[in-house]
A = this chain, B = another copy of it.
């Protein structure tokens, strides 16, 4: 390619991100040419409904009804996949583009979490770039930071708020003392949550993103299945208030860290110290923190979603290709990625927050404490939030459950689960125990 020949882009998918990208090239075309050393031109586009009014000017761009045809078309040098979904036309078109040796830029986390290893090998074999800055944390340049800026570091832990919907709900629950259901309904009204919110609040969306970050951070193959996932729907106002009293906030975190038995990957509601940087990320904002041997700790925060912010990351990937910068999909050649060795959750070590509804009977609390002690679990603090009213003199005290909150010192997932199982069987508590993991930061 000549230095000043335009680089031609084919864009498949004209939703919020695709239309933002078209607007960006129209608005900043001159500046993009100066920065990249060559003009960036959208030569072809593809979407399901050609007649839809998108308020963008696509004249001068060739229209395709079939994304695979656009992916194979020699009229573009980079195929931008903004269709979504891990199978179907998204997968087919990305594979078609890479097979013809064409560079691919995608915002598709599900596709990469599920098929990232094969696609990375396909890209490498065809000597093409496969870039996906927009897939991990919207507008935050976390992929570039991990793949390039931290080249001289070994990462020990990466964690983040990777789902804006969940963070919005938890922030609102805390700030305005309202319940989960009400917050979710509000998030849906404001467009922060889908009509079917399960993918966001169930943690799957964050898990897909975490899988990509883990691969680059630790140099391992992507394994989108090997993630422990727990969503936020069990979090109650009682948990949020108790966390506040104890100096914590509750965040849906994705965490990946190196342990003796492999790499732990988990997404779950997490108690984080109120003074930590990650605790202070509110609303739909995302944030990723990286701990590495030379740099220490870096935190990047910004918009995790939205058409414009996501288009910003898509363009970062395009500009890199236009400039001739070639980085391995996951930061190194696909053949150099180590097999992912999963550390199971049973060996996870940490402190735990436990909330129980304890029947207020003599000996109940002693029995519970003993069950914890039997498993070698020490308690850092215990809060009995409020007792049921005492019965009149001469009558038996009412057997109403009262909330008891415990914070444990460090133990393992296996021990705490075993202890809670026995406590349940003993019959001193009502309902299910609530258990939230505590993440410590240095």
A-side residues, CB < 8 A to B, are 20, 24, 27-28, 31-32, 34-37, 133, 139-141, 144-145, 148-154, 219, 277, 280, 292-303, 306, 308-309, 311-316, 318-320, 323-328, 331-333, 336
Q: B residues within 8 A CB of A318?
A: 151-152
CB distance from A30 to the nearest CB of B (A): 10
12 pairs, CB–CB < 8 Å, chain A vs chain B = A20-B294, A35-B332, A139-B294, A141-B150, A144-B144, A150-B312, A277-B301, A294-B309, A295-B302, A296-B306, A323-B325, A324-B326
Q: B residues within 8 A CB of A296?
A: 139, 302-303, 306, 308-309
Measured CA separation A154–B150 after assembly (Å): 26
Measured CA separation A150–B336 after assembly (Å): 30
Q: B residues within 8 A CB of A295?
A: 139, 302-303, 308-309, 312-313
On whether the beta carbons of A148 and B144 are closer than 8 Å, the reply is yes
CB distance from A348 to the nearest CB of B (A): 26
On whether the beta carbons of A35 and B331 are closer than 8 Å, the reply is yes
Closest 8 CB pairs of A and B: A152-B315, A141-B149, A151-B319, A325-B325, A298-B302, A295-B312, A139-B295, A294-B312
Given A141-B145, A149-B313: A332 in contact with B34 (beta carbons within 8 A): yes
Given A34-B336, A325-B324: A148 in contact with B319 (beta carbons within 8 A): yes
Q: B residues within 8 A CB of A303?
A: 295-297
Measured CA separation A303–B37 after assembly (Å): 32
On whether the beta carbons of A151 and B315 are closer than 8 Å, the reply is yes
Inter-chain pairs besides A34-B332, A139-B296, 18 sampled, C-beta below 8 Å: A20-B294, A27-B293, A32-B152, A35-B331, A139-B298, A141-B148, A141-B150, A144-B144, A144-B145, A148-B319, A149-B313, A150-B312, A152-B312, A152-B314, A277-B301, A295-B312, A297-B302, A300-B300
A24 is contacted by which of B35, B152, B315, B327 (Cβ under 8 Å)?
B152
CB distance from A381 to the nearest CB of B (A): 24
CB distance from A28 to the nearest CB of B (A): 6
On whether the beta carbons of B299 and A301 are closer than 8 Å, the reply is yes
CB distance from A161 to the nearest CB of B (A): 13
Measured CA separation A139–B133 after assembly (Å): 21
On whether the beta carbons of B323 and A326 are closer than 8 Å, the reply is yes
Q: B residues within 8 A CB of A312?
A: 149-150, 152-153, 292, 294-295
CB distance from A2 to the nearest CB of B (A): 16
Q: B residues within 8 A CB of A141?
A: 141, 144-145, 148-150, 298
Q: B residues within 8 A CB of A320?
A: 148, 325
Measured CA separation A298–B309 after assembly (Å): 10
A316 is contacted by which of B27, B151, B302 (Cβ under 8 Å)?
B151
CB distance from A194 to the nearest CB of B (A): 21
CB distance from A56 to the nearest CB of B (A): 14
